């Protein structure tokens, strides 16, 4: 079994390349041959195969070989670990932003209260 952090590294490494992300988008619509995955790009079949191998190592695709035809299909399960990792930091930043929001609202209320208690024409106090 591959260490979870190694698997997560492989998923993010695979997703880091726009060609591989485009290949995954194609595979989301259904299985494709290596030739079909390579067609939209200015790359050789060997180049496409290297991208596909990276996706395979990450566990994001399964390849089936029938004779000379290699057909790939999406396996999105490894994306779950990446989504969970991102959700952790989303919760972290949401908590931080909630605290900031509360501080800004309290400051606004304090400023509003100070303005309403000041007599018209009286000078503002400097903090």
**Predicted pLDDT of residue 127:** 52
* CATH number for position 39: 1.10.10.10
What angle (nearest 5°) sits at the alpha carbon of residue 113, between those of residues 110 and 115?
110
CA distances from 94 to 71, 86, 102 (A): 42, 12, 12
Residue 96 lies in a domain: no
Alpha carbon 79 to chain centroid distance? 9
60 occurs within a structural domain = yes
Q: Is residue 122 part of a domain?
A: no
Answer yes or no: is 108 within a domain.
no
Strand partners, 71: 33, 64
Range of the domain at 13: 4-77
> What's the rounded Cα separation, in Å, for the pair 116 and 87?
43
Give the chain's domain count: 1
Task: Give pTM, 2 decimals.
Answer: 0.70
Look at residue 1 in the predicted model and tell me its pLDDT.
39
H or E segment to which residue 69 belongs: strand 69-74
Contact yes or no for 45/34 (Cβ under 8 A): yes
Task: Let me know if residue 127 belongs to a domain.
Answer: no
Summarised one tens digit per residue, pLDDT across range 34-56 is 999 999 999 999 999 999 999 99
Domain membership of residue 73 (yes or no) is yes
Quick one: CA dihedral 12, 16, 17, 18, positive or negative? positive
Instruction: Look at residue 103 and tell me if it is in a domain.
Output: no
What is the chain's pLDDT, residue by residue, as a tens digit (127 residues)? 345 788 899 999 999 999 999 999 999 999 999 999 999 999 999 999 999 999 999 999 999 999 999 999 999 999 998 888 889 889 989 899 999 999 999 888 877 766 666 566 656 555 5
The answer to the question of residue 113 being in a domain is no
Element (H, E) at 28: helix 18-28
Give yes or no for a contact between 28 and 34, defined as CB atoms under 8 angstroms apart.
Answer: no
């Amino acid at each position: 079994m591959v260490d979870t952090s190694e698997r997560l590294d492989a998923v993010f490494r695979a997703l880091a390349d726009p060609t591989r992300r485009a290949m995954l988008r194609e595979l989301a619509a259904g299985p494709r041959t290596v030739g079909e995955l390579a067609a939209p790009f200015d790359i050789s079949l060997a180049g496409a195969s290297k991208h596909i191998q990276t996706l395979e190592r990450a566990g994001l695709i399964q390849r089936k070989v029938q004779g000379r035809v290699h057909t790939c299909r999406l396996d999105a399960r490894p994306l779950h670990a990446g989504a969970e990792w991102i959700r952790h930091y989303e919760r972290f930043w949401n908590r931080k932003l909630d605290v900031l929001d509360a501080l800004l609202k309290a400051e606004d209320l304090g400023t509003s209260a100070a303005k309403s208690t000041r007599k018209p024409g009286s000078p503002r106090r400097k903090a």
